[in-house]
Amino acid sequence: MKFSKDFKRQMVPEWIEAYVDYDGLKRILREILHYNLSKKRETPLKSLEKKLSLHRTLSGLHRHTNGDVENQVTREGREIEIEFFRKLDEELNKINTFYKEQIEVVMDESTLLNKQLDALIALRLKVRSSCSNGACSPEHQGVEMGSLNSSSEVEMSEHRALEVSSNSLSGSEITDVILQGINQDDESTSVLENNTIVKSNGRPEEVGNNSTNQQGDPLEILERVKIRNTLESPLDTIKGVFKDSKHDDLCFKKDELKKVEAKLRLAFIEFYQKLRLVKQYSFMNLSALSKIMKSYEKITSRREARLYMKKIDNSYIGSSDEVNNLLERVEATFIKHFSNSNIQKGMKSLRPKTKKEKHSVTFWSGCFSGFSAALLIAVALRIETKKLMEKEGASYTVNIFPLYSIFAYIVLHLLIYAADIYFWRRFKINYPFIFGFKPGTELSYREVFLLGTGLAVLSLSCFLGNLYLDLGSTTQRYKTLTGLFPLGLVAIVMIILFCPFNIIYRSTRFFFIKSLFRCLCAPLYKVTLPDFFLADHVTSQVTAIRSLDLYICYYGLGERSQRESKCHGHGIYNVLYFAVPVIPFWLRFLQCIRRLFEEKEAMHGYSSVNYLLTIVAAIIRTICELKKGMAWMVLALVSSSVVVIVATYWDIVFDWGLLRRHSKNPYLRDKLLVPYKSVYFAAMALDVVLRIAWMQLVLEFKLHSLHRMAITTVVSCLEITRRGIWSFFRIENEHLNNVGKYRAFKSVPLPFNYDEEEEESSKDD
């Protein structure tokens, strides 16, 4: 693989603008190469030029014309090289500045993690002492004593292997030291090796030598510390509402210790990943500059390349070693404090294996696609031969088709999501980071496509079997059994979804279940992007969710045997018929309210009004559908029109960040990842058209060639398609926001809050 391709592939997507402009430098080198080649072509004429020059000199006609031309050509070549080195200096300064900023960030974060680890060790000691005094229950005592078997001196000294002297190695002083050419390996930094601290002078220092006499009593730290309540669970949220946080002093309990350890463990893992990305950034940029200078030396055969490489080696990014030191210290600290000194287990947590594509996924995707196409044709032929779309079979279609259509909507959603993933990857949108997937657990578009086609085969098989057994002349005795086909299909899907075994992408299934549960519990959970992103998608599945009403009617209210439209005679069904279309928008409304109170941004308040209008429109539309009055029709038309206008504007302007009049790309935005501007204009036009198509559910135009059920299905599929288009541009806009802020890491909430931190935050307020 060429270096340029590997260089682009290894880039941190959010830092693309901070990397060396490798293509720009190569372009200037090509200009130098073309200039040198043009000079070489003129070489055979030099002997003739010398003869002409001698002849002109002897004849007294020499006008120095040839010398002027040579000077002009030489000047042009020098100007190209001057431009090259000017560009090279700009790029070196750019990566130096960015690298310094990242080093300052990780140094500050390492200081915070040191303080957090101090508090964790003190909390462990406190819990240990309470357990030794008999305050713990027997089952907790063994666990706590096992995890706290080291002495306070060992704990407090070993974690100092992570600590960096910020007084001597941070900020502008670091820059001064690097610029003066001082090697950081000569500093008195220490690395943890085999339970000893080895100093740079080669003399090991035992861990126990750094006693608590120099640091004071470690338990005194707890007097200045509170456990930070991030309101991550419903119980925490309820306590936060009815309890004054100012009087919520830290109560050290055994249950708190596990939560604190889990949070701090996650913080260390995220910090380690950040260090690895910073190191990778340094390595790739230095490699790019090295490749550029080798190409320059090969083209020009000059020694300036070696001199400039010395300049690069002496620069901040070339000589800084803080990241390597921090990586070693984090590894040692994490293995000791969070992996029970198990090196293999600790490194597995810090460095998860990269996911590899499997050929079996592609094979089975192709098989399931072929099976789905064959089954779909068989279903269509069966419906046509039995004339189920005509009046004779309309009653059967209305009652049986919604039971299976829910799976059709889910399959379509999965296929469109697979297409989104394909285009996100193609345009280098870092969707795993945006959604917060665990490294190596995100699904590729092939795997999502496999799930969609697999579900299509399963549902189409059940549907086709239902049609044959229900409508066959010799299979009437199986009619009772076929009524259980839809319920059995739901049971199979739910068993697969909640299966606790590590099969069929367990981590992704559990991530989906967790996000869905957080959506259902809104606003008791802190709202994250996966939560409101999933809630927005659920709002596009209203027709599918409404199909669940028929399952309740048929299997809960005993209407399965009749297969007739008698569900509206039940009060419970009517209540659900009103509530189901409203619930997704209500959950989204509650999420906006939660974000409004937490983030104090008016934008979330405006968004909540948008969803409130949608709720009103959905209720009026349902009443209009049941009562069929002209007044209700007008109200439904007006409310739905307002919702369409507001929602379309919100999609394009706020979710996609488009329609910027004064941007570099008129009526789009400054930065675009798709190279064709027409794609954005087409997406905006399509969003408007598909939003208006949704109005068909209100207006109910009479289309004699299509059954009402078919019209509803088509409109619902169009809405799912619109949501898929919305998803691509929504995540693209989120990615560009991260790129603009160079935000490539998750912000992990730390478990402890120091008193001085509260004082600083109050001063800032």
- Give the span between the Cα atoms of 188 and 201, in whole angstroms: 8
Q: How confident is the model at residue 583 (pLDDT cuts 50, 70, 90)?
A: very high
**What pLDDT score does 71 carry?**
52
Examine the pLDDT at 180 and tell me if it is beyond 70: no
The rounded percent of the chain whose pLDDT value lies above 70 is 74
Q: Averaged over 225-229, what is the pLDDT?
A: 76
Kindly state the average pLDDT of the residues 251-267. Answer: 80
- Is residue 37 included in any domain, yes or no? yes
pLDDT on residue 762: 46
Alpha-carbon distance of 142 to 177, in angstroms, equals 50
Structure-model confidence comparison of residues 384 and 455, the more confident one: 455
Residue 445: predicted pLDDT: 95
- Please indicate, yes or no, if residue 314 is contained in any of the structural domains: yes
| 118 found inside a domain | yes
Q: Which residue has the higher pLDDT, 703 or 667?
A: 667
Residue 447 lies in a domain: no
Q: What is the pLDDT of residue 208?
A: 35
Q: What is the predicted pLDDT for the residue at 150?
A: 42
**pLDDT at position 1:** 56
- The pLDDT of residue 522: 87
- The arithmetic mean of pLDDT across residues 171-194, rounded, is 35
Assigned domain for 10 exists: yes
Residue 559 is assigned to a structural domain of this protein: no
Looking at residue 238, its pLDDT comes to: 60
What SS3 string covers 138-202? Answer: HHHHHHHHHHCCCCHHHHHHHHHHHCCCHHHHCHHHHHHHHHCCCCHHHCCCEEEECCEEEECCC
| pLDDT above 70: residue 662 | yes
* Sheet containing 196-199, strands listed edge to edge, beginning at the edge strand earlier in sequence: 190-193, 196-199, 204-206
How do beta strands 204-206 and 225-227 pair?
unpaired
22-36, 83-97, 351-365, 380-394: range with lowest mean pLDDT: 380-394
pLDDT of residue 239: 59
Structural domain harbouring 307:
1-44+72-130+257-350
**Which whole number is the average pLDDT over 57-79?**
52
CA-atom Rg of the chain in angstroms: 34
Asked if residue 60 belongs to a domain, the reply is no
Summarised one tens digit per residue, pLDDT across range 617-656 is: 999 988 888 787 788 888 988 999 999 999 999 999 999 9
Domain count, the chain: 1
Terminal CA-to-CA distance of the chain, rounded, Å?
53
Rounded (10°) angle between helices 677-693 and 630-649: 160
Please give the mean pLDDT across all residues of the chain.
Answer: 79
Q: In whole angstroms, what is the distance from residue 454 CA to residue 457 CA?
A: 5
The residue-averaged pLDDT of 372-382 equals 93
| DSSP state letter for 582 | T
Structural contact between residues 725 and 683, judged by C-beta atoms closer than 8 angstroms: yes
Q: Strands (DSSP E) along 535-601, which ranges?
A: none
- Name residue 193's beta-bridge partners: 196
pLDDT for res 547? 85
The answer to whether residue 142 scores a pLDDT higher than 80 is: no
Nearest to 280, CA basis, from 240, 327, 214, 233: 327
SS3 assignment for 89-141: HHHHHHHHHHHHHHHHHHHHHHHHHHHHHHHHHHHHHHHHHHHHCCCCCHHHH
| 4-14 mean pLDDT | 89
Left, alpha or beta for 193 (phi > 0: left; psi -120 to 50: alpha)?
beta
Residue 745 lies in a domain: no
Question: Across-strand partners of 225?
Answer: 754
pLDDT surpassing 60 at residue 513: yes
pLDDT higher at 652 or 47: 652
